[in-house]
């Protein structure tokens, strides 16, 4: 064997040794190499690849050290949505969950795949022909961020699958930071004067979203698989539990605590068993997850909104910690809701330093009788939102006469932001500021909601800029955003700097005149605002911030009416005829659009060039595409995919996100990917953009 061949053979041997070591450590929990041996082999491989670049391989274990910073994360649209789970906190809720499944499937004792609910960051790994090609965060479930480079640094994420891998395999799972690794990292950070991590969950999320993958490589992250996304080229096992075993065989780590349980009693026994060993687990969990094991039963149960009806997360009681109330304040939200909260002596709750906790509403304050100076028990509800659970009354400060030192708290009768009256509707637990768009607090939150990703999606227009625009009276309604210029944003920044004593005013002005002030950020903001002028009706309806009108209701309204003017003209009775809209929501929609100032804002939006496709009610029951399922993939030059989908739905089609044998046809634009390939594989009819436009023209669209 020649020298070159021997070198190549040694490189392959080292890669095999290191890959096998990772598999045995993370999947089999049966390590064969000591850390020192692993590091020695890795350094040898790095040296050989450095000296022989012709032997480079993107899937080599050496690629885990991280690459240069990308500067930003690209968007990734999930081929199969990453759904959230409904939560259960009581045993009765679990029993009801099982009873519903038993009734609808006809299986009196259904089996469930059960697993710990890891407290980390949900991600999706995509493998093509066994090679790791992309990793993405969950994001909003439909679209996440491309963190492939960072995930390559996580040793428990295999870069190449073992055995016979399918053509396409998307694996969903959790990136987490083991407890021991978290403590070890913080000890190192303290010794080197670096910032410590607040808790393992934040450590995992923050580490994976580092723009520099080399930083991620320094963080002790791990991964467990728990579900599938898009899969091509393989027949899956009939159950979820057997699928998890198959993933193990492919080299993907799966929690050793995964099991199968039968019926409600089996689920609750598993919940108690994991709860007893919760503190001894190597990772943080906030509950356990129950998934109906048989895939045919999962399909029968289906989904509701963003969650499957066949799975549920059973949460453990949150950790509780005592602290002292220093003051009671209120926050005014975008709908005018006045929410009381306490400022308290900083305290660690579940590994997070907490200084504020919600009191929810006036009824909660009255029930708890929380006062300044009280010792209170704080809980992170769902291990996330801090809240006051109860008052330790025997520790309440008293005056010389033995009476409480501080009076009972009363919710303010006037808005602390705008001075308008605070009122509470009959049968409502929440008090609200009556200032509406006149209240700057509501204005800031209304603008922030309007600009958010799921609404008008104005990239870069965050709360800091919006607060400044409102504070300087440059924007009074959402329509005013479309009047802003680059000069307006530069002036806003200059005023903010002056207030902060950051830069003398004359210095800023001179730089502006000489053209030296960086304005690219302002140009990008104006461009983003301009890009949002073209949108969809459902986004506008959601962006307006109508109380109780979320994305789902906005979509329902858009599809039912097809245009905005019929919604403006609809009374409560008309709105109640819309599917899934009850009397309360109908009343709130009618009230919102009856207000003159809201109509003025809508008119101003239209006058400022904001527009969206309008027409007849969508998804006609007797349209030419009634009963047909259409999939859109790739980019269209003449319209957005949302616009194309709306036009097809108006003709009766159901627009789906995935291709199957039931798909009637696929519209393939530029850079169409796996969906086009799957359509061709299944023999599904494919239309190009020209054919789509011709068809729409024939239909008068």
DSSP-based three-state secondary structure for 357:
strand
Q: What is the dihedral of CA 228, 225, 293, 663, to 10 degrees?
A: 0
- In the chain, CATH 3.30.470.30 covers 86-315
User: Mean pLDDT: which of 6-10, 270-274, 557-561, 577-581 is highest?
Assistant: 270-274
Q: Is 115 annotated as a binding residue?
A: yes
In this predicted model, what pLDDT tens digit does every residue of 236-267 receive, in sequence order?
A: 999 999 999 999 999 999 999 999 999 999 99
φ, ψ for residue 78 (rounded to 5)? -70, 130
CATH 2.40.50.320, applies to 3-65: no
Poorest-confidence range of 408-417, 447-456, 669-678? 669-678
Q: Which residue has the tokens 């030059």?
A: 637
Topology (CATH) of 86-315? D-amino Acid Aminotransferase; Chain A, domain 1 (3.30.470)
Q: Are strands 431-433 and 168-176 parallel, antiparallel or unpaired?
A: unpaired
CATH class, 320-395 region: mainly beta
> How high does pLDDT run on average in the chain?
85
Interatomic CA distance for residues 324 and 301, integer angstroms: 47
Give CA angle at 568 (566, 569), nearest 5°: 65
- Rounded CA-CA distance 495/474 in Å is 12
Instruction: Tell whether residue 433 is among the known ligand binding residues.
Output: no
Asked whether residue 678 is marked as a ligand-binding residue, the answer is: no
DSSP category for residue 159: S
**Based on C-alpha coordinates, what's the Rg of the chain?**
29
Between the CA of residue 177 and those of 98, 190, 283, 285, 301, what are the distances in Å?
32, 18, 7, 11, 34
> Counting every residue, how long is the chain?
701
Residue 57 marked ligand-binding: no
Q: Are 338 and 432 in contact (CB under 8 A)?
A: yes
Which residues, in sequence order, are bridge partners of residue 285? 118
Q: Residue 340 corresponds to which tokens in the numbers above? A: 């009381």
Q: Of 204-208, 458-462, 542-546, 589-593, which gets the smallest average pLDDT? A: 204-208
Instruction: Compute the distance between CA of residue 663 and CA of residue 628 in angstroms, rounded to an integer.
Output: 7
- Would you name the residues annotated as active-site residues? 117
Query: Does pLDDT of 68 surpass 50?
Result: no
Q: Where in the chain is the domain with CATH 1.10.150.20?
A: 437-531, 537-607
User: pLDDT at residue 606 above 90?
Assistant: yes
Per-residue confidence at 290, pLDDT binned at 50, 70, 90? very high
- Is residue 552 part of an annotated ligand binding site? no
pLDDT at 592 over 50: yes
pLDDT band per the 50, 70, 90 thresholds, residue 577 = confident
pLDDT tens-place string over residues 74-118 = 888 998 888 888 888 889 999 999 999 999 999 999 999 999 999
Q: Is 403 annotated as a binding residue?
A: no
Specify the CATH architecture of the domain 537-607.
Answer: Orthogonal Bundle (1.10)
For CATH 3.40.50.10190, list the domain ranges present in the chain. 629-698
More confident residue, 146 or 655: 146
> What DSSP line would sit under 523-555, residue for residue?
HHHHHHHHHTTB--HHHHHHHTT-TT--HHHHH
In which residue are the tokens 């906030």 written? Answer: 286
Q: How confident is the model at residue 511 (pLDDT cuts 50, 70, 90)?
A: very low
Q: Is 84 annotated as a binding residue?
A: yes
Assigned fold of 629-698 = Rossmann fold (3.40.50)
Confidence of residue 514 (pLDDT cuts 50, 70, 90): very low
Question: 326 in the Ramachandran plot: left (φ > 0), alpha (ψ -120 to 50) or beta?
Answer: alpha
Q: Where in the chain is the domain with CATH 2.40.50.140?
A: 320-395
Residue whose pair of structure tokens reads 């190009």 in the numeric block: 688
Please list the residue range(s) of the chain that carry CATH number 1.10.287.610: 3-65
Is 276 marked as binding a ligand?
A: no
Question: What is the CATH class of 437-531?
Answer: mainly alpha
């Amino acid at each position: 064997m020649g020298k070159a061949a021997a070198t190549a053979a040694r490189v392959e041997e080292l890669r095999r040794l290191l890959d096998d070591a990772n598999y045995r450590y993370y999947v089999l929990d049966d390590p064969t190499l000591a850390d020192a041996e692993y590091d020695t082999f890795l350094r040898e491989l790095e040296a050989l690849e450095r000296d022989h670049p012709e032997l480079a391989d993107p899937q080599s274990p050496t690629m885990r050290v991280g690459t240069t910073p990308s500067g930003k994360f690209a968007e990734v649209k999930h081929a199969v949505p990453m759904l959230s789970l409904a939560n259960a906190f009581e045993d009765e809720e679990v029993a009801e969950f099982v009873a519903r499944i038993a009734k609808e499937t006809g299986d009196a004792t259904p089996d469930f795949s059960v697993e710990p609910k890891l407290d980390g960051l949900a991600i999706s790994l995509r493998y093509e022909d066994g090679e790791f090609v992309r990793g993405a965060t969950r994001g909003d479930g439909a679209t996440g961020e491309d963190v492939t480079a960072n995930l390559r640094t996580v040793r428990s994420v295999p870069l190449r699958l073992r055995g016979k891998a399918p053509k396409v395999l998307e694996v969903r799972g959790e990136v987490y930071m083991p407890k021991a690794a978290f403590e070890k990292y913080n000890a190192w950070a303290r010794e080197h004067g670096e910032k410590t991590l607040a808790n393992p969950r934040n450590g995992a999320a923050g580490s994976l979203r580092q723009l520099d993958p080399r930083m991620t490589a320094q963080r002790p992250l791990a991964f467990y698989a728990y579900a599938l996304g898009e899969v091509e080229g393989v027949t899956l096992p009939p159950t979820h539990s057997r699928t998890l075993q198959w993933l193990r065989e492919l080299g993907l780590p799966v929690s050793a605590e995964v099991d199968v349980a039968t019926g409600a009693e089996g689920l609750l026994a598993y919940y108690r068993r994991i709860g007893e060993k919760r503190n001894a687990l190597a990772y943080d969990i906030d509950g356990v997850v129950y998934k109906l094991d048989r895939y045919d039963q999962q399909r029968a149960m289906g989904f509701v909104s963003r969650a499957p009806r066949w799975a549920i997360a059973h949460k453990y009681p949150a950790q509780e910690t005592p602290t002292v109330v220093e003051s009671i304040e209120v926050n005014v939200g975008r709908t005018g809701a006045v929410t009381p909260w306490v400022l308290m002596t900083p305290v660690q709750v579940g590994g997070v330093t907490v200084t504020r906790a919600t009191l929810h509403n006036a009824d909660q304050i009255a029930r708890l009788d929380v006062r300044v100076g009280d010792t209170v028990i704080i809980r992170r509800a769902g291990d996330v939102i801090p809240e006051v659970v109860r008052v330790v009354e025997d520790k309440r400060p008293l005056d010389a006469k033995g009476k409480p030192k501080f009076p009972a708290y009363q919710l303010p009768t006037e808005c602390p932001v705008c001075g308008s009256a605070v009122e509470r509707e009959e049968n409502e637990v929440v008090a609200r500021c009556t200032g509406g768009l006149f209240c700057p607090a509501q204005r800031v939150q209304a603008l922030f909601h309007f600009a958010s990703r799921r609404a008008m999606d104005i990239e870069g227009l965050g709360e800091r800029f919006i607060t400044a625009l409102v504070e300087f009276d440059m924007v009074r309604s959402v329509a005013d955003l479309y009047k802003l210029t680059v000069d307006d944003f530069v002036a806003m920044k200059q005023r903010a700097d002056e207030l902060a004593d950051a830069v003398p005013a004359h210095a800023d002005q001179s730089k502006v005149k000489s053209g030296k002030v960086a304005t690219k950020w302002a140009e990008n903001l104006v461009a983003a605002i301009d890009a949002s002028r073209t949108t969809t009706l459902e986004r506008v309806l959601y962006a307006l911030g109508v109380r109780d009108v979320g994305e789902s209701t906005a979509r329902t309204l858009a599809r039912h009416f097809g245009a905005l003017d019929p919604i403006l003209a609809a009374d409560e009775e008309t709105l109640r005829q819309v599917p899934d809209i009850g009397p309360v929501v109908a009343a709130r929609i009618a009230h919102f659009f009856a207000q003159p100032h809201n109509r003025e804002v809508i008119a101003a939006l239209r006058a400022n060039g904001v527009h969206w496709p309008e027409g007849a009610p969508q998804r006609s029951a007797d349209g030419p595409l009634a009963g047909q399922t259409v999939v859109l993939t790739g980019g269209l030059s003449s319209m957005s995919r949302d616009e194309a989908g709306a036009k097809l739905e108006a003709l009766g089609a159901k627009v789906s996100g995935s291709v199957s044998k039931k798909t009637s046809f696929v519209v393939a634009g530029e850079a169409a990917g796996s969906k086009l390939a799957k359509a061709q594989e299944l023999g599904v009819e494919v239309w190009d953009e020209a054919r789509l436009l011709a068809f729409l023209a024939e239909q008068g669209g």
